[in-house]
Amino acid sequence: MLIAALVGAAAGIGVGAGVAASIHAHDTTTIKFSPNTSVFRRMNNVQAVLARVLPSVVAIQAFGPSCTSGSLSGATQFEKGTGMILTRSGAILTNDHVIANATQIRVTLYGQKTAYPATLVGTDPTYDVALLQVHGPTTLRAVSLGDSSPIRVGDDVLAIGNALALSQSTPSVTEGIISAEGRSIKAGGDDCAGTESLNGLLQTQAAINSGNSGGPLVNSAGQVIGMNTAAATSTAGNAPTQNVGFAIPIGTIKSLLSGLTKGGETGAPKAFLGVEVVSVTPAERASWGLTATSGALVVGVFPGAPATLAGIGVGDVIISFAGHAITTDVSLTVAVRTAHPGERVTVELYRRRTLMTISLVLGAKPAPEAGTS
């Protein structure tokens, strides 16, 4: 309001002065306009960029035991995502959270209907990066990896991926700009992926949706400068979040490729409790005769795991872990992910009607076996 008032006052003074004084030709100022010399990298030919990149983008389907139902119960979980072909022989880059806990991975190439089997080569959960090998097709077309260091806020980018799994063979494309650099986020969902902290990310205005994870973020030259990984969502009571997506810079990914190629899991080890759980619901309470009205019901334990060694068994209901209140199966998964291998924690649980407190030392999560398919 103050700015508007000052502008209005200046206009009034200008009109008064114009009326009171005569206008002379030598008071006229000529301004010369020059062509736009912006240094931002613009997407002049989107179709040409897509022709270069699309053949190297694949859709990924990952199947595995549902950690919200317990693998011992036979329930399965389906994850959809995207991948980028790194080599002509079929090495594929994607997000770790796309294939985490998967026992079967399928890959569909651009423009094709056949879903080929793929195996896990290596993964780094700390950076949310995984390397796969697809089996069947030969002489594939690899993406061109660019350089993320010269990126500037305002540069045009395209985000490509299997958005909402609308089509396995024809990826979705969104256009936008780099909105910011060096972002740090805590990402997670309502499934067994839990939460993860990621740093040094690129923020983009190009829309990123479920299924885009693992897909390329490309520049105006058709080079991959990042891997689409997360998107901001609205929280209750807030205005809808629009076009706030995040990508891992390709420079970070390049530094991890050597370790991923060697196989297994790299990065910081994850804590391991060794239980399979479901949320306590009215149906579960009636079926198991439970006293607890909420918590994580143990439906399976792993032989030799910290939970097993500490005496936790099937039918126990965990209501607290390391000081964190546990109300659902997912809240236990998240709490365990925030802990560290070798850390001593206290677990509170109900065994039928008895409230018990158990102290145990967490182990390290077993690394996924190379060749998991």
**pLDDT tens track for 228-277:** 999 887 655 566 677 899 999 999 999 999 999 988 777 667 788 999 89
If asked whether residues 260 and 293 sit together in one domain, one would say: no
Segments forming the whole domain that contains residue 354: 271-364
For residue 86, the domain's CATH number is: 2.40.10.10
If asked whether residues 212 and 275 sit together in one domain, one would say: no
If asked whether residues 129 and 162 sit together in one domain, one would say: no
Whole-number Å distance between alpha carbons of 327 and 317: 10
If asked whether residues 104 and 197 sit together in one domain, one would say: no
Which residue's structure tokens are 């990042």? 226
If asked whether residues 248 and 163 sit together in one domain, one would say: yes
In-domain check, residue 29: no
213 is catalytic: yes
CA angle 307, 343, 336 (to 5 degrees): 60
Whole-number Å distance between alpha carbons of 58 and 116: 11
Predicted pLDDT of residue 330: 77
Query: Which tokens go with 278?
Result: 């479901």
128 is catalytic: yes
Q: Where are the alpha helices (DSSP H) in the chain?
A: 2-20, 46-53, 96-99, 250-254, 257-262, 282-288, 306-309, 329-337
Q: Distance from first CA to last CA of the chain, Å, rounded?
A: 63
pTM of the model: 0.66
The answer to whether 274 and 250 are in contact (CB under 8 A) is no
Contacts of 128 (CB under 8 A, 6+ apart): 95, 96, 97, 187, 196, 198, 229, 248
For residue 354, the domain's CATH number is: 2.30.42.10
In-domain check, residue 140: no
In-domain check, residue 276: yes
Count up the domains in the chain and report the number. 3
**Which of 264, 280, 308 is at the close of a domain?**
264
Of 56, 66, 148, 213, which residue is the catalytic one? 213
Q: Which residues of the chain have pLDDT under 70?
A: 1-41, 65-76, 188-195, 234-240, 267-268, 366-373
Whole-number Å distance between alpha carbons of 304 and 360: 13
If asked whether residues 278 and 351 sit together in one domain, one would say: yes
If asked whether residues 65 and 160 sit together in one domain, one would say: no
Whole-number Å distance between alpha carbons of 229 and 95: 7
The dihedral through the CA atoms of 48, 89, 230, 127 has a sign that is: negative
**Which of 264, 281, 312 is at the close of a domain?**
264
Of 96, 124, 128, 329, which residue is the catalytic one? 128
Query: Which tokens go with 311?
Result: 């005496």
If asked whether residues 107 and 203 sit together in one domain, one would say: no
Give the type of residue at 89.
S
Of 97, 155, 220, 320, which residue is the catalytic one? 97
131 DSSP β-pair partners: 93, 122
- Kindly list the distances between the CA atom of residue 249 and the CA atoms of 173, 181, 185, 284, in Å, as whole numbers in the listed order: 19, 9, 14, 44
Which residue's structure tokens are 């700390």? 126
In-domain check, residue 99: yes
Query: Which tokens go with 246?
Result: 């995040």
Whole-number Å distance between alpha carbons of 60 and 211: 9
The answer to whether 300 and 70 are in contact (CB under 8 A) is yes
**Which of 264, 283, 300 is at the close of a domain?**
264
